[in-house]
Structure 1
Amino acid sequence: MGSLKAHEVARFLVRPDITEGIFLAYGPDSGLVRETAQRLIKQLSGDDPESASVVTLDGSEVDADPSILAVEARTMSLFGGKRIVRVRGASKSIVMTLTELRDDAGGAAIVLEAGNLTPKDALRALVEAAKLGRALPCYPDSDETLQLLIRESFNQQGIRVDADVVTTLREILGNDREITRRELEKLSLYAAKSKVLTREDVLLLCADNGMLVIDAILDATGGGHAERLELALNRALSSGVDPQRLLAMATMHFASLRRWRTEVDTGKSPRMVLDSSRPKPHFSRASGLEQQLRLWSDSALATASERILQATGESRRRPALADPILRRALLAICIMAASH
């Protein structure tokens, strides 16, 4: 069988067990699909990539003339190198042509890029069943894989990062691999001479992609600012920030507020509590967090935390409705804050 698990793809890209046939990179993360195809093509090109013949076709071209795929796959490389045919936006319309090439690709590698395919999809089923076929699922990064990617990227460039850089970047970045790579390349270029990267550098260069937006969502929710909340949510979700990650961040935020509120209830001032907190909140949020500590009682924070917990469970059971579930929960909590 030519089906790989998502966690097996990275190892396969380093050492593919076949070098010809049909390779299908598919999944909801289009950036990761493209990166997977590019890495595979680089690996298949061998020690002399310049001699490889790589032809790129658009899915619409192949749909209009399916025979073009077979012609390109069976055309001999001018310089005798590896023949690789890449098809972007592949769909099940090319299944008939691929059926002819499934058992004899003539030494060529056909690398297909597709969206999220179900197990019953004809294209995926054909590749998984082929002896010379490998289906490579590309799903959004988890916390673990994203943090590993961040560390490896900076280690390869010899860049030393402060302890909170990785966690800050994880909070900023969404789950689109292409955007992640672009941001990491930007940061590596910025730190190319100094070989040092701080949290302040990350916020300066990447905040527009998420961190400040996430902070804005949390502070608008806790501070009772409905209009600000709507704007920040629209910005974050349109940038590909995972709704479940926002719910997780909200859980952490209200857990922190509740912990700090307990100290305030012993007689300490909100500013004193925040100044002694470790890790200390970023100075830009200090006044907003002080306001939230004055607005919320412990019992109200417990109610808000329970509401977020319920929304988190519901979003996991019904992932297609994660966006509206997130919006409804945070707006309800925002209204609670505004009524205090």
Structure 2
Amino acid sequence: MTALKAHEVARYLARPDLSEGIFLAYGPDGGLVRETAQRLIRHLSGDDPASANVTIFDGPELASDPSQLVLEARSVSLFGGKRIIRVRNATKALVMPLTELRDDPGGTAIVLEADNLTPRDALRSLVEAAKFGRALPCYPDSDETLMALMRETFNQAGIRTDSDVVPTLREILGNDREVTRRELEKLTLYAAASKVLTREDVLLLCADNGALAIDAILDATGGGHAERLELALNRALAANVNPQQLLAMLTNHFANLRRWRTELDSGKTARAVLDSQRPKPHFSRIGALEQQLRLWTDPALAQAIERLLQGVSDSRRKPALADAILRRTTLALCMMAATH
């Protein structure tokens, strides 16, 4: 019985221990599920992918006649090469035919793609219990894994990036691996000749003004500019920026302000504090950040962070009200800044 953990999947794909059997890529991240299946098929195809015999089915198609899967798996390839069956949108309707194949795949590799499955799901249970079965969970990337993917992609392409490129790109993109891959391909193609990427390049190609709106939200909230805050919130939410993500970013922003304020209180100038950060804040925000450091005291920042954490908690308990919670919380902080 082999049940891989999500963090083990990337390592497994680099060196699978089976060349035949049933492989199940499943999880809530559809882009990562598809990428996992594609990487596995490339590996299973061997040194000559063109010679592989890959048959693709859709789950609902097989559900109406599950015997097709067994017939295809047992048939002999007319042209030789590795026999691979890929099934998209697989469900527990395939459990019966897969039961016939799990102990004797006959050299065939069956790669299944499925949505998120509970531990008790019949399809997942069958694959995890099979000697020739491997289940590959595909869950949304963490900040660490996404940023590692970005750095690895740019390094492999020989592209030098400014220190704020990866953090800026992470702020813009969500957790869908397919979307991330697509944006990275666009950036590497853009920088193929120059071999250099800047934050401005990322904003121009990927942000759709989303990242600019996010910076505006952070600085308008911290600086006490209510009208600017309203405009920036409207832009960000119209661009489908997640309000819960914005609350988390605001929490991080105010935590940074509090850490920087401690350095300011120790005798450093605001400019010296900001210049010493790595990555250094973008030059276009230096003036706004200096103003915020002057406006907020440490006790006030502690109170602001507490209010933001409450907003994060409220938005998770009542996701339908996340937009309203974001607006209420940021306006309250904006008013706090304006009264200092």
Normalised TM-score (structure 2): 0.84
CA shift, 1:37, in A, is: 0.4
1:151 and 1:114 mapped to 2: Cα distance?
Answer: 29
Contact 2:58–2:88, Cα closer than 8 Å, also in 1: yes
Confirm or deny: 8 A CA contact 2:213 2:233 kept in the other structure.
no
* Contact in 2 for aligned 1:224/1:336 (Cα 8 Å): no
Q: Is 1:277 aligned to residue 274 of structure 2? A: yes
Asked whether 1:171 is paired with 2:171, we answer yes
Indicate which of 311, 318, 337 corresponds to 2:334.
337
Q: 2: CA distance between counterparts of 1:86 and 1:213?
A: 42
Q: 1:141 to 1:321 in 2, by over 3 A?
A: farther
**Gap change, CA 1:17 and 1:323, over 3 Å in 2:** farther
Is 101-110 or 258-267 further displaced after alignment?
258-267
What is aligned with 1:42? 42
Give structure 1 stretches of 5+ with no counterpart: none
Q: 1:35 to 1:209 in 2, by over 3 A?
A: farther
Distance 1:63 1:224, change over 3 A: farther
Shift of 1:310: 3.3
In structure 2, C-alpha distance between the alignment counterparts of 1:6 and 1:248, rounded to whole Å: 24
Question: Is 2:236 the counterpart of 1:228?
Answer: no
Distance, in Å, in 2 between the alignment partners of 1:211 and 1:323 is 23
Cα distance, 1:157 vs. partner?
Answer: 1.3
- Amino acid in the other structure paired with 1:334: L
Bigger drift between 291-300 and 209-218 goes to 291-300
1:305 aligns to 2:305 (yes or no): yes
SS of equivalent to 2:23: strand
Q: Deviations over 1:115-162 (max 9, x none)?
A: 111111111111111111111001111122112211211121122222
Residues in 2 aligned to 1:326 and 1:86: alpha-carbon distance in whole angstroms: 41
Structure-2 change in CA distance of 1:57 and 1:242 (3 Å): farther
Q: Which amino acid aligns with 2:234?
A: L
Tell me whether 245-254 or 124-133 shows the greater mean CA deviation.
245-254
TM-score (norm 1): 0.84
AA in 1 matched with 2:334: A
For residues 232-281 of structure 1, what are the alpha-carbon distances to aligned partners after superposition, in whole Å with 9 as ceiling and x for unaligned?
45346x36x593x534321221234446667999999xxx8458622454
Q: What secondary structure sits across from 2:331 in the alignment?
A: helix
Consecutive unaligned residues of structure 2, counting only runs of 5 or more, are: none
CA distance in 1, matches of 2:150, 2:209: 16
Name the CA shift for 1:130/1:52 in 2 (closer, same or farther; >3 Å). same
- Give the 3-state SS of the residue equivalent to 2:87 in structure 1: strand
| Partner SS, residue 135 of structure 1 | strand
Q: Is the 8 A contact 1:247 1:326 kept in 2?
A: no
Secondary structure of 1:277's match?
helix
Q: CA deviation at 1:26?
A: 0.7
Whether the aligned pair in 1 keeps the contact of 2:243 and 2:322 (CA below 8 Å) is no
Return closer, same or farther for 1:213/1:136 CA change in 2, 3 Å cut-off.
farther
Distance 2:206 2:271 in 1: 25
Provide, for residues 197-236 of structure 1, a one-character-per-residue CA deviation record: whole Å limited to 9, x for no partner.
2222222222228532432442454433564354345346
Dislocated runs of 4+, deviation >6 Å: 260-268
With 188-197 and 279-288 compared, the bigger mean Cα shift is at: 279-288
Fraction of identical pairs, as percent? 66
Kept in 2, the 8 Å contact 1:218–1:250? The answer is yes
Aligned to 1:94: 94
Q: Return the offset for 1:336.
A: 4.1
- Cα distance per residue 1:287-319 (max 9 Å; x no partner): 65577567756544332211123344x37xx95
| Deviations 1:307-339, CA, capped at 9 Å, x for gaps | 123344x37xx9575574575155223234247
Partner of 1:161: 161
Equivalent-residue separation in structure 1 for 2:214 and 2:166 (angstroms)? 16
**C-alpha contact 1:52 1:83 (8 A) present in aligned 2:** yes
| Aligned equivalents of 2:301, 2:168: Cα separation in 1 | 25
Q: Contact conserved, 1:45 with 1:82, CA < 8 A, in 2?
A: yes
User: Which 10-residue stretch deviates more, 30-39 or 203-212?
Assistant: 203-212
Contact 1:217 1:232 (C-alpha < 8 Å) held by counterparts: no
C-alpha distance in structure 2 between counterparts of 1:31 and 1:127, whole Å: 21
